Amino acid sequence: MAPLTMARLGRLARRLGTSRVVDAAVPVLATPYVRSRRGTNIVVSAHYSMQLGINFDDDEAAARHYFHHGWKLGVVPTPFIDAPAVRFSRAASLLLRNQLARIARGGEPRTRWLGTPSRLLGSFDVSEHLDDSGGWVAGLTRRARRDPRSVRLTVGLRELNYEEYIAGCRDLVAASRTALSSAMIDERFYRSQVGGARPVSREAALDDYLANGELDGRALNPFFEAEWYSVADRSQGHRGRPINLFLDFVARGELGQASPHFWGTKYLDSEPVASDGGSILAHFLENAHRDSLTPSSAGVRSITRGQAEALVRSRVRDYHDSLGRLRAHGPVRGHHTSAPRRAQATETCVVFVDEQHLRAASVIQEFAASCAQQSLSGLRVAVIETDDDTRTAQLDELVEASPFIDFVPRNPTDTVGAVVAEILRDAQPDGWTFWTPTQRWRPEFLSSAVAALAEQPGVSAAAVVSPTTPQPWLRSDDALWLDDLDGAGVVLRGTGSRAVLPDPSLDRGIVWHALIGLSASGTAAVLPADLVSRSRQGEDPDLEMRAGANAARSRHLVDFDQDPVGEVTVVIPTYQDWAMTLGAVRHVLQTTGDGVDVVVVDNGSRRPVATILAACFASDVRVTVRRMDRNTDFALGSNVGATTKPARCVVFLNNDTAVQEGWLEPLAGALSEGAGAVQPLLLYGDRTIQTAGTIFLGGFSMPRHLLPAVHPIDLDPAIDDYPFSALTAACLAMEWADVARLRGFDPHYVNGMEDVDLCLRLRADARPLAVRTSSRVVHFESRSPGRMDFQLPNRARFARRWRRMITALDDRAIFDSGPVELRDVVWERLAGSPLWEPRLVLARRDHLAAVVDESAPCLRWAIKTSATGDASGDVWGDTFFASALADALRRYGQEVVVDRASAHVRDSGGWDDVTVTLRGLVPFTPQPGATNLLWVISHPDLVTRQELESGYDRIYSAGEIWAQHVRDRWGVDVHTMLQATDASKFNLEARGGAAHEVLFVGRTRGVSRPIVSDAIDAGAQLAVFGDDGWDRFIEPRYLKGTGIDNDDLPGAYAGATFVLNDHWRDMAEFGFFSNRLFDAAATGARVISDPVPGMTELFEGQVQSYESVDELRALLDPASDRWPDDSERDRLARSVASEHSFDARARRLLNDALAMRGRNG
């Protein structure tokens, strides 16, 4: 029998009925499977079990099942290969089965091998195993079983060895069985994400999701979003990413936050019977009415089940519709075909060239040859000048020697489009086109194109269609989102009613813009000859394409000729990042009122981004999520957002920001006072300044941020009155009238310099630019993919446009007053940049120290913490600890800054008089010239002798045992100073908060913390608050929330009958008392903790420890004689608040620092 190809079997199946004909053909067509060791090395039983939800006794049982029955389900039974067609075609599934059967028998497939290495192999080098026959699959499996650690598989960003992967598969078999037998696999919904293809079976749909779907952003039903679950499930920080997030959700009891509008725990609270059937999510999908409210995730407002489902389906449909708009399909349509011929002597064409392309000698040579070889006699070449000094002698010689090549002057403010339009009006040529270094022209190209225009007066363009110039715009009636419309091989008509004239506002994308219009309403003569080819030679071709596309699309996407309809619109563009964008939008909504709208522009991100954002804000009419089919970058994306909902005030805001309370009013006030634009004080995540405005330093140089990495206490209040020349668009407020008049940001810039350019255009109209330092916005400075790819060409464009203005701008006068002075400017030059880079050398002016009393002059303190300088660092315990200590020092008249780990070393560090290192996870090197204090408050096991002897003036330990240990072992003088509480918050007045019988607030640390397990065993009415996977260890009824806000914590402690506490093992051993002990005790709470030497004595019975569950059970009785009575607890609470407050610690630190500074002179 002749080899049966997939195509032949597919045609037979379509004629006779796909499933039935293949099933009927199996006895004849199926290659027999003979039991063999090689066969068991093809079907990986654990992986295959996970696909089907069936446990197999051994590898042979799995292999026998696959070859006899399982192949019909359309699954690929090994993690090492992928064959997507198998999951959507029974014919392909049979073909793969036969190929694997022959390999199992030691033979080779008779047909083209279907399998390719799967993406699970990631970076693992399989080259030594690969062959065309597919036999490598068995060989690789043998190696993996023989040496499991030698074969690595990549799951998301996590790398596993083969042994770990197999164990993970086994853990998910039961979850797979649950999913396959429930409504959690919505085949119709899944089909809409794979182009309408129908999976062979539910198992095939799940297998496609396991192999590719989850990583590609697909979903099995509208209420599970893998990315959302991954971010919400903090336990993955301890255990790593599971093999499959969906099956992991099912395996862990479906209690997690599966999507913005499904949280298993919340649904189970409202529907306790949901767990009876085995699947909580399936119960919701099968039983929840369309009008019932969704059990939405933390921070997301509920909507109806019908609204949530419709929204997700709509967003999925829109996304996949957009994919179709990115590619042109089918033949050239609705156009005329012309055979190449020579043009008449009277027919003319103008070829335009931007001089910036003609710098490299090889490019000039290619350009000269292309022009000289053209057979068109009526040829004119116009080289459009640039306003710089980069022209080469070789180009001058070429133009001077050529009778048809001329330079065309251009002012810095002139666009290429305007210059071209003027020439065309004067010359009235039959055709015109652009030459770029990426094109190679045959001698007859221009002549043939112009002749075609003459033969067919009804067409607007002549285009060469060939494999190298496919002209996708001729295959679509909507070319807006097509790529590569650079005009290679296209000559446009230059005169008459069918003429195509350039948009004079464009510098790039001139032909691109014309072709977008022609695809919808124009006609073209098609030259089916290989007259033009492409190369990648030339300067910045990617920038040409990207900027040209943005500029061209801008004319179709943006309408500035509208009247404002609202008060304030905040525009937030984003690319591939919903998590930070979600935070940015929430901060805006939390700090503003109903008169503020938010427009999120999703710049062509993967499918989940817009879906998640739209779902999160579905109940808030203030938020609009608009998706672009491609990445339009910052400038165009911001313009689209501003014109989507024009308002009297427009605020452009980065997606990686967190606006602070009261941020908007100062900005709006500045605009009402006449400012053309205004920005807030932008802070890094560590709360040092990112920029207090943008300044110029004179000469032909780049603008710089003002006061980067300086603390806000060093600001000059006069900054608010300074007339800036430029601001940053990380947060920039303008009136709509100015945005519309200036046509927003210039889309010719690709993620760089567009904000400074806009400001200089505004400044040219004599509009003042302002900074309001009372408005604060934290800028976390995440980096979108490709954010800095075009830094140098952006600067080159900026320099050409503004060279005359920026040489006259000098803002050094801004340092004439205030705490900070400019000592020097160091000039540097980045390779390839046309502009100098000024580096500022700053110093702090001498100032008279304020005197609080005779013994306490004002010193500048820098508190060093281990907290990270990003959003997560905001909720570190170290951050609250440092803030409380800083406030206490300020109450003693001290000047204090707090440095997170990212700001430990800063240029302004020499301004600090005293450093206090709160030693936790991160060490700090003492600051030369300062008084350096070290306070070890946690993780003493990380502290080394070398660190203690590195130059600290005094060392404190929050644990007496460790202090004595260091003194005895290393001979280092260490003073005991216990942790403390913020008595302004944690005190007896905090009573009246939420009441819980037994309260525990904390994360799992990746384990079931013993005090929580013991409390459950003791029968406690337990309330646990934590966000990193408590559902793995305790029943849902004990988990009451993901956390308690720090401002609400005093009331929670005071309202609880008992507060539970525990310690890291090393902390307990070395006598470090947890900060929670002091906080809870200061509110009068009864505290139960694991034992730490000296703890009970210090807190005089208000804190009790236990050794057994029985002892704990006895302690969980308020009437136990081990607890002080109410009046005694009140006295003890006041004592803790007095003796162990941050004020007490601050006074000691101040006294010690003053004594040491006096002793050291």
Buried b (16+ CB within 10 A) or exposed e, 689-706: bbbbbbbbbeeebbbbbb
Residues 399, 307: one domain?
no
Q: Which residue has the higher pLDDT, 40 or 901?
A: 901
Residues 344, 419: one domain?
yes
Q: What does pTM read for this prediction?
A: 0.91
- pLDDT of res. 784: 61
Please indicate, yes or no, if residue 838 is contained in any of the structural domains.
Answer: no
Residues 1008, 1103: one domain?
yes
Residue 1129 CB: number of other CB atoms within 10 A?
Answer: 20
Confidence of residue 330 (pLDDT cuts 50, 70, 90): confident
* Percent of the chain whose predicted confidence (pLDDT) is above 70: 92
Amino acid making up residue 974: V
Amino acid making up residue 508: R
In the chain, DSSP finds a helix count (H) and a strand count (E) of 41, 41
Running DSSP on this structure, what letter comes out for residue 411?
-
Please indicate, yes or no, if residue 836 is contained in any of the structural domains.
Answer: no
Q: What is the mean pLDDT of residues 1008-1019?
A: 95
Under 8 Å between Cβ of 712 and 681: yes
Please indicate, yes or no, if residue 849 is contained in any of the structural domains.
Answer: no
Please indicate, yes or no, if residue 1150 is contained in any of the structural domains.
Answer: no
Q: What is the mean pLDDT of residues 5-32?
A: 47
Residue among 743, 797, 736 nearest 504 (CA): 743
Question: Distance between CA atoms of 946 and 772, rounded to whole angstroms?
Answer: 46
Which two structure tokens, joined as six digits, stand for 803?
């060279």
* DSSP symbols for 708-719: TT--GGG--GGG
pLDDT digits (tens, 9 = 90+) for 84-101: 999 999 999 999 998 888
pLDDT of 933 > 70? The answer is yes
Residue among 768, 692, 754, 691 nearest 725 (CA): 768
Under 8 Å between Cβ of 1056 and 993: no
Question: Distance between CA atoms of 112 and 134, rounded to whole angstroms?
Answer: 10
- pLDDT of res. 392: 86
Residues 228, 208: one domain?
no
Cα angle for residues 32, 34, 38 (degrees, 5° grid): 120
Q: What is the mean pLDDT of residues 246-256?
A: 94
Residues 706, 603: one domain?
yes
DSSP-based three-state secondary structure for 144: helix
Q: CB neighbours of 964 closer than 8 A, spacing ≥ 6?
A: none
- pLDDT of res. 476: 85
Of 913, 945, 976, at which residue does a domain stop? Answer: 976
Q: Which domain holds residue 386?
A: 336-555
- pLDDT of res. 58: 87
pLDDT digits (tens, 9 = 90+) for 148-169: 988 989 887 788 999 999 999 9
Question: Distance between CA atoms of 1037 and 433, rounded to whole angstroms?
Answer: 72
Confidence of residue 233 (pLDDT cuts 50, 70, 90): confident
Q: Among positive and negative, which fits the CA dihedral 847, 851, 856, 861?
A: negative
- Edge-to-edge order in the sheet of strand 860-864: 895-899, 860-864, 914-919, 931-936, 954-957, 975-976
pLDDT digits (tens, 9 = 90+) for 841-898: 999 986 444 344 445 689 999 999 999 999 889 989 999 999 999 999 999 999 999 9
Please indicate, yes or no, if residue 818 is contained in any of the structural domains.
Answer: no
Q: What is the dihedral of CA 897, 898, 903, 906, to 10 degrees?
A: 20
DSSP-based three-state secondary structure for 523: coil
Return mean pLDDT, the chain. 90
DSSP-based three-state secondary structure for 841: strand
Kind and range of the H or E run holding 601: strand 596-603
Q: What is the mean pLDDT of residues 275-299?
A: 94
* β-strand partners of 625: 600
Q: Among positive and negative, which fits the CA dihedral 985, 988, 994, 1000?
A: positive
Confidence of residue 130 (pLDDT cuts 50, 70, 90): low
- pLDDT of res. 538: 47
Please indicate, yes or no, if residue 820 is contained in any of the structural domains.
Answer: no
Which two structure tokens, joined as six digits, stand for 743?
């046509």
pLDDT of 11 > 50? The answer is no
CA distances from 237 to 158, 298, 1028 (A): 11, 19, 8
Question: Distance between CA atoms of 1074 and 90, rounded to whole angstroms?
Answer: 63
Question: Distance between CA atoms of 679 and 771, rounded to whole angstroms?
Answer: 5
Cα angle for residues 469, 474, 479 (degrees, 5° grid): 100
Of 811, 827, 842, at which residue does a domain stop? Answer: 811
pLDDT of 955 > 70? The answer is yes
Please indicate, yes or no, if residue 425 is contained in any of the structural domains.
Answer: yes
- pLDDT of res. 276: 84
Under 8 Å between Cβ of 340 and 529: yes
Q: CB neighbours of 616 closer than 8 A, spacing ≥ 6?
A: 260, 299, 300, 582, 585
Query: Which CATH number characterizes residue 737's domain?
Result: 3.90.550.10
Residues 926, 1021: one domain?
no
pLDDT of 539 > 50? The answer is no
CA distances from 159 to 213, 526, 957, 1117 (A): 19, 52, 40, 49
Residue holding tokens 């998910």?
172
pLDDT of 563 > 80? The answer is yes
Confidence of residue 830 (pLDDT cuts 50, 70, 90): confident
Residues 720, 801: one domain?
yes
pLDDT of 588 > 70? The answer is yes
Residues 439, 349: one domain?
yes
Residues 576, 709: one domain?
yes
Residue 967 burial (C-beta neighbours within 10 Å; 0-12, 13-18, 19+): middle
Start-to-end Cα distance in the chain? 101
Q: What are phi and psi of 420, to 5 degrees?
A: -60, -45
Please indicate, yes or no, if residue 893 is contained in any of the structural domains.
Answer: yes
pLDDT of 1123 > 70? The answer is yes
pLDDT digits (tens, 9 = 90+) for 664-683: 999 999 999 999 999 999 99
Q: Among positive and negative, which fits the CA dihedral 1034, 1038, 1043, 1046?
A: negative
* DSSP symbols for 928-961: TTSEEEEEE-S-GGG--HHHHTSS-SEEEESBHH
Under 8 Å between Cβ of 1 and 90: no
Q: What are phi and psi of 918, to 5 degrees?
A: -85, 95
Residues 533, 570: one domain?
no
Q: CB neighbours of 346 closer than 8 A, spacing ≥ 6?
A: 378
Residues 564, 546: one domain?
no
* Number of structural domains found in the chain: 6
Residues 967, 1005: one domain?
no
What beta strand segments (E) does 1038-1109 contain? 1039-1041, 1058-1061, 1087-1089, 1103-1105
* Antiparallel, parallel or unpaired: β 405-408 and 378-384: parallel
Under 8 Å between Cβ of 630 and 323: no
Which two structure tokens, joined as six digits, stand for 825?
């400017």
Query: Which CATH number characterizes residue 933's domain?
Result: 3.40.50
pLDDT of 81 > 60? The answer is yes
Of 950, 976, 1002, at which residue does a domain stop? Answer: 976
pLDDT of 388 > 70? The answer is no
Question: Distance between CA atoms of 650 and 653, rounded to whole angstroms?
Answer: 10
